[in-house]
Amino acid sequence: MSTTFDDRELSFDDDDGDLVPSNDVAATREFHPLNVSSDAFWDQDAPEREKIYRVLRETAPVTWQEPIQSAVVPDPDDPGFWAVVRHEHIAEVSKRNDVFVSGYGVMFDLLPSMLLEMAMSFLAMDNPQHDKIRKLVSAAFTPKQIKKIEFDIADRARRIVAAAADKDEIDFVADIARHLPIEMYGDMFGIPADKVHGVAHAADDITAWADPDLLAGRDPIDVQSEAGLFIHDLAEELIAERRENPTNDLLTNLVQAEVDGESLTDFEIGAVMTLFSVAATDTTRHTTSFAVKALTDFPEQRAWLWEDFEGRINTAIEEFLRWGSVVLTFRRTCVAEYELGGQTILPGDKVVMMYGSGNWDTEVFENPDTFDLSRSPNPHVTFGGGGVHYCVGNQLAKSMMRSLFRELHRQMPDFVAGEPKLMRTNFMRGVLSMPFYPHGRK
């Protein structure tokens, strides 16, 4: 029997009695004077935030911070969180999933458990539940599987870029960047073409909780809940169709799959579909947009790439990912006492990994402020710092970017990108819109 939203409430109560761990020390700690939780900090773009991150990496790599100011659900009992800014510590937290767990949430806020489950799926799970679902999903993202669909990806990229090639000015996000990931997501789950853009809009709402322009006066919990319900309702329809008429898509695989003799519930499948609505569409779109802007701002790097596109694009994509650093933060919750960066982390403490800081760590990256497409090796943490939660769709994302930039190179090599309008959240660094001139300004 499937779980629906009529069966459970959006509340902070944990039906299983598995309460979030806590300690008496957190409320007595002093907050670090360099604040990375304020609205003022997150209103800045990456270069300005990096000025503070740099000081923290050099002097205080693990600091106790005030509760996030732009909380979705303000919690008067929230004592704060540990901010982790060094690359090595981000990797350490990521890989020690026995100590730093995801099941209590991956955002700054303690969200209602039902909202967490319906939107985050295995991203906000720990083992054994995490591996149960991830193994089913990851089968669709192996290099072998991605190779099978590369021609389709390339064909779509060619068509999308061609549709904009004869125009003088477009919005790069709306007219190019968002289309390929949305189409591929729709194909993966067999979503009808007339409904896939509705899902993409819902995905935007799921990540909109701290952006006043995107919220437009709406309550963030209502926005996220309605967006999640929209995708789950669609998933319920599609799941019923797949049971009657199986097809060759990821949704059918999830419907038919069994783990230890048990099938996934409709709710679990809907949560996977909701998670990928964001993971498979927003992150690739934003990374592509930041890369196009960087190629405009650093023409010598574009010239280097254009000289030998096929031989250099794979290395370039890694720098696109580092430079964009689209996913800003992820949280873990400590469940066992642990020493990290000279600090004692206690059970119940929230630990937030600052990926943007890790990608600018001078101990790992030479001249991190330089956009260098030849940078190699490039151990960025854009897909995570390793461990069980490393991005399952990373090969698909790279394949889409490879195809899209190939077509930009072929069809509009002299493009110019204008100034982007940025999304304001503490979770994702995104581009809402960006003027784009396919053949340069006239």
Domain harbouring 410, CATH code: 1.10.630.10
Nearest to 168 by CA among 427, 389, 412: 412
Model's pTM, two decimal places?
A: 0.92
Predicted confidence at residue 263, as pLDDT, reads 85
Give the span between the Cα atoms of 420 and 424, in whole angstroms: 12
Which of 24-51 are b and which e, b meaning 16 or more Cβ less than 10 Å from the residue's Cβ?
Answer: eebeebeebeeebbeeebbeeebeebbe
pLDDT at res. 442: 66
Question: Does 19 reside within a domain?
Answer: no
Cross-strand partners of 343: 340
Q: Is residue 13 part of a domain?
A: no
DSSP letter string, 197-237: HHHHHHHHHHT-TT-HHHHTT--HHHHHHHHHHHHHHHHHH
* Ordered mean pLDDT values, 10 residues apiece, the chain (442 residues): 34 48 94 96 94 98 95 87 99 97 88 78 88 86 89 97 97 97 94 92 81 79 89 96 93 87 89 89 93 99 99 99 96 98 97 98 98 98 93 94 98 98 91 96 74
Asked whether residue 17 is domain-assigned, the answer is no
> What per-residue confidence (pLDDT) applies to 12?
32
How far apart CA 337 and CA 410 sit, in angstroms, is 55
Is 260 domain-assigned?
yes
Locate 356 and state its tokens.
Answer: 């943007």
Convert the pLDDT of each residue in 302-339 to its tens digit: 999 999 999 999 999 999 999 999 999 999 999 999 99
**3-class state of residue 358 by DSSP:** helix
| Residues 32 and 64 sit within 8 Å (Cβ to Cβ) | yes
35 in Cβ contact with 67 (< 8 Å): no
pLDDT reported for residue 210 = 67
Q: b or e along 64-86 (b: 16 or more beta carbons within 10 Å of the residue's beta carbon)?
A: bbebbbbbbeeeeebbbbbbbbb
Asked whether residue 397 is assigned to any structural domain, the reply reads: yes
H-run or E-run covering 182: helix 179-189
Domain total of the chain? 1
198, part of any domain: yes
> Does 67 reside within a domain?
yes
Asked if residue 10 belongs to a domain, the reply is no
Residue range of the domain that includes 187: 26-437
